[in-house]
Amino acid sequence: MSSTAQELARLAETIRPETKAFIDGRFVDSASGKSFNTINPATGKVVASVAETDREDVDRAVAAARSAFNKGSWRNLAPRDRKVALLRLADLVEKHQEEFAVLECLDTGKPVLDALNADVPDAIATLRWHAEAIDKIYDAVSPTSADIVSMVVREPIGVVGAVIPWNFPLAITAMKIGPVLAGGNSIVIKPAEQTPLTALRLAALAAEAGIPDGVINVLPGYGETSGQALGRHRDVDCLSFTGSTEVGGYFLKYAAESNLKRVLLELGGKSPVIVMDDIDDLGPVVEQIALGILFSQGENCSAGSRLLVHAGMKDRLLEAVIENFKTWKVGDPFAEDTKMGAMIEQKHMERVLGYIEAGKREGALVALGGNRILEQTGGYFIEPTVFDGVANSMTIAQEEIFGPVLSTITFNDVEEAVAIANDTKYGLAAQLYTNNLHIAHKVSRAIRAGTVSVNCFSEGDQAVPFGGYKQSGFGGREKSMLAHDQYLQFKTIWMQLR
């Protein structure tokens, strides 16, 4: 039976997170001896003081990862044995799921029950899915003449650097680890400085699961120091980054200026939510709209932040959306009835509030919210916010806010809806609500986005690829079998027979 929020709150009072870097199978201090504080966004108080890694630590971790790769203690294991180890890791995460939920809540400020019932199960399922795929990926023999054997084989790419965002730290760390380790690679993980705790705990369990020393390394630290050093390192073969489009550009630059390492980018979004005028029951639609922009405080790259609604039903839909948003209680992440927690940090809260002010200046109307709340807690809370009268050219319709802010834009026909939906530099996700099968098929094809959800807010499951068009992604896809190929090299072996 699932734990209650109250039980998890008691666990939070006694938990003692790991705070050292994890290099070559051991927890170690940073080379400089420096540390930094990770802050609880819901209280503004220090959770722990964590080792602050830098270039020297990156060198140590990459060397450990390279040594482990060269020794072959992981990559040369039979696929079934790598599968067993990854499944054992998933089992250990499940065994400690309450601990992971608490650490995730303390680090991110999200409701602890969301962490327990969504984030942690997703991480477990991710590890298991990729583990089960390990011994089901086949090499190929190409058609040739009788005197030739032509094989196309997959080989691990080597040392992978993974830079993790702060919004879903455990789930996205698992999303990287799963296919990276499935292919026989080693990995150096740089979690976001705001949220390092679950990655460190995961590393400890990986060692317990039997994954060899050096195969997984975790370096808490800042992006401009340890993140950049990892991106520029000449012995890193591949860099996988999830985060903002701006920072993704830096990693392309670092690769170009170092060793031309493969760069995989899963970046930002400004996802449209298109509601056609043929919808007869608004209730389920409104529930999905709210989930799409308010879940995880709107700090989600695929959040449905632009509500594109047919002019003929805008007033009716907007009224229903506002009434629904009012039911989303914002507050203590350890309260049973909290549906929305805190922004990740004060700097980000101020950034979101800045976008709200920009919307007002440019002529959009605040239909709901727009304010910081619960300031007395010391936390960084913003209430659900809805703008009406938004033009798609406005800042709030073009730039990724990464908060609980919905911009309402009207359209008059399908063609205009598609044009507005595509009028953005992003192309990560979209939602479409319609009862018309023809519109569903045509509009889904016309929208330039990596995932189009029809009559729901969803990113699919582990079996389907996730990633974006345009400035929402570059170089590969998360999830599905495609995630495996991006961490592998393809080799042709052409053999002349005598």
Catalytic residues: 266, 301
DSSP for 308-374, please give it.
EEEGGGHHHHHHHHHHHHTTS-BS-TTSTT--B---S-HHHHHHHHHHHHHHHHTT-EEEE--SEE-
Is 262 in contact with 296 (CB distance < 8 Å)? Answer: no
Rounded Cα distance, 422 and 272, in Å: 8
Q: Which residues, listed in sequence order, are joined to residue 450 by a DSSP beta bridge?
A: none
Task: Compute the distance between CA of residue 297 and CA of residue 344 in angstroms, rounded to an integer.
Answer: 9
Q: Given phi > 0 = left and psi -120 to 50 = alpha, else beta, which region is 39? A: beta
**CA 69/CA 216 separation, integer angstroms:** 11
Amino acid identity for residue 229 in this structure = A
In three-state form (DSSP H/G/I as H, E/B as E, the rest C), the secondary structure along 38-102 is EECCCCCCEEEEEECECHHHHHHHHHHHHHHHHHCCCCCCCHHHHHHHHHHHHHHHHHCHHHHHH
Q: Which residue has the tokens 């809806």?
A: 417
Helix (H) or strand (E) holding 153: strand 148-156
Q: Which long-range contacts (CB under 8 A, 24 or more apart) does 277-282 make?
A: 277/310, 277/312, 277/313, 278/434, 278/435, 278/436, 278/439, 279/313, 279/433, 279/434, 279/435, 280/435, 282/316, 282/317, 282/320
List the one residue out of 68, 365, 59, 21 whose CA is nearest residue 193. Answer: 21
User: Is residue 25 helix, strand or coil?
Assistant: coil
H/E element holding 483? helix 482-485
| 161: helix, strand or coil | strand
What order of strands is seen across the sheet that includes strand 148-156? Answer: 140-142, 148-156, 488-496
C-alpha–C-alpha distance, residues 65 and 46, integer Å: 32
